[in-house]
Amino acid sequence: MDQKLKSELTRQLILNESFKLFYENGFKTTSVDKIMKATNLTKGAFYHHFENKKALALAVIGLKLQKRVYEAMVAPLYGSGDALEILKTIFSVRLKSFTVYEKQHGCPTNNFINEIGDHEVAYQNALKRIIEEWKSALVYVLDRGKTEGSVRKDICSKSVAVYLISAFEGVRGLRKLYDNDLILDEYVSGLSLYIKQISA
Amino acid sequence: MDQKLKSELTRQLILNESFKLFYENGFKTTSVDKIMKATNLTKGAFYHHFENKKALALAVIGLKLQKRVYEAMVAPLYGSGDALEILKTIFSVRLKSFTVYEKQHGCPTNNFINEIGDHEVAYQNALKRIIEEWKSALVYVLDRGKTEGSVRKDICSKSVAVYLISAFEGVRGLRKLYDNDLILDEYVSGLSLYIKQISA
DNA sequence: TCCATTATATACTAGGTAGTATGTTTTTTT
DNA sequence: AAAAAAACATACTACCTAGTATATAATGGA
């Protein structure tokens, strides 16, 4: 029972270092060699745990990215509290509380989407799952707001969800170009206007 | 006078093929060899016209990308007509009229931003210029709308501009994951809600 | 027409790439 | 404890990479 544990630990180590390097340098330009150098293991270990680099990418997307987005952007939407307040918190407070490192490198999921979202169906589906889960949670909280009377009933929840996600991912990309938070402040101000519009 | 012309033609050929290959396969994974194969020229020609791959990237960004964004997204904003109608056209009609190829591969500029926006200051500045030019045009048309009475005077033009750009670039990335236009339709619907909010 | 310059081609280097083949060590099972 | 299996290491292949060195061809000016 010790071997299984240590093996799983190694797998997680590879996944963690991969995520980090993919995030900092991109997926396609991060080699297996670089990853294994970061883990202090060798290629033998890598190809024992993963069939190839594509399998690693799918694991990083399905495990690391999906989990991160779920914890940061999805789970809070299922919490209690005023629907619109939750939205404001998720999309603005969270954004400003990112570290410089996170602001500089953007959204890990969005980076993957833009880098390999048009390459393989397997990648598309894995990434799509993350977005759809997020979108569903947004629709849920918007619908709840409707029944509770805080959100206008004549708006399309799905459309608002897509627009919110789009703007968030968009600005996380744009922020890479700057060395200050001005664009984030403007985004937040633009967002608050949008939230006012959907409020009843 | 013939040599200068032919030389410039070759340079443009390299730029065009580079743009296309960068767009389809990404910047970092497109090699100089592949580019020159596409031009039916050789490496000698490439390094005669460009100092290195970085110089090529800066030329593609500063010439090809900047021009494309200007023609498609900036120039129309300086045209005549109702400010809000122009915004609707730019951000929704244009989006739906993209070819399948363009929907699949997203926005060339946004692809660059996400791929190398966090790599080098030179890249950042070249890309920033495109976004700032776009943002200025949006601010212009929003301010015009304010004086003409079609746009609410209490909104921050810069913030709205940033939010509009963010959402547009965001959804162009997300669309890569799908094989239909549903997400674009939802974006358009979400956008029209936003435009309603800023109208007087 | 000769010469200089520019434009392009060819051949090469040094290093990086995914993946494989084959080891050796460690752990589990019998 | 022996055998089997799992975990990891080492060495290798075939190919791609940016960039350089040096050649040849085309053009423009005198």
Q: How large is the ipTM?
A: 0.96
Q: Is the distance from CB of B163 to CB of A191 less than 8 angstroms? A: yes
27-66 in chain A: CB under 8 A from chain B: 28-29
> For B80-117, what is each residue's pLDDT tens digit?
999 999 999 999 989 989 999 999 999 999 999 999 99
Q: Which of A29, A159, A170 faces B190 most closely, judged by CB atoms?
A: A159
CATH code of the domain covering residue A44: 1.10.10.60
Range of the domain at B17: 1-50
| Same-domain check for residues A40 and A127 | no
Using alpha carbons only, how large is chain A's radius of gyration in Å?
19
| Same-domain check for residues A45 and A140 | no
| Same-domain check for residues B100 and B191 | yes
Nucleotide nearest to B1 (CA to C1'): D28
| Same-domain check for residues B30 and B101 | no
| Same-domain check for residues A171 and A134 | yes
Q: What was the pLDDT predicted at B1? A: 59
Determine if strand D comes within 7 Å of the CB of A41: yes
| Same-domain check for residues A122 and A178 | yes
Q: Is the distance from CB of B186 to CB of B156 less than 8 angstroms? A: no
| Same-domain check for residues A26 and A72 | no
CATH code of the domain covering residue B129: 1.10.357.10
Give me the CA A14–C1' D27 separation in Å, rounded.
Answer: 58
| Same-domain check for residues B176 and B107 | yes
Q: Is the distance from CB of B105 to CB of B26 less than 8 angstroms? A: no
| Same-domain check for residues A69 and A150 | yes
| Same-domain check for residues A59 and A106 | yes
Task: Please give the mean pLDDT across all residues of chain A.
Answer: 97
| Same-domain check for residues B16 and B90 | no
Q: Between the CA of residue A45 and those of A50, A57, A60, A78, B192, what are the distances in Å?
A: 9, 16, 17, 39, 53
Q: Which of A106, A111, A187 faces B163 most closely, judged by CB atoms?
A: A187
Nearest residue in chain A measured CA to CA from B160: A190
| Same-domain check for residues A159 and A104 | yes
Q: What's the number of domains chain A is made of? A: 2
What contacts A15, CB < 8 A, 6 or more positions away?
A56, A59, A60, A63, A64
Q: Which residue has the tokens 């739906």?
A: B96
Q: Is the distance from CB of B77 to CB of B138 less than 8 angstroms? A: yes
> For A41-59, what is each residue's pLDDT tens digit?
999 999 999 999 999 999 9
Q: Of A10, A27, A50, which residue is a domain's last?
A: A50
Determine if strand D comes within 7 Å of the CB of A79: no
Q: Which of A176, A179, A180 to mutate to test the interface with B (most CBs of B within 10 A)?
A: A176
Distance of CA B48 to the CA centre of its chain: 28
Which of the residues in chain B have pLDDT under 50? none
Residue A163, chain B, CB below 8 Å: the answer is yes
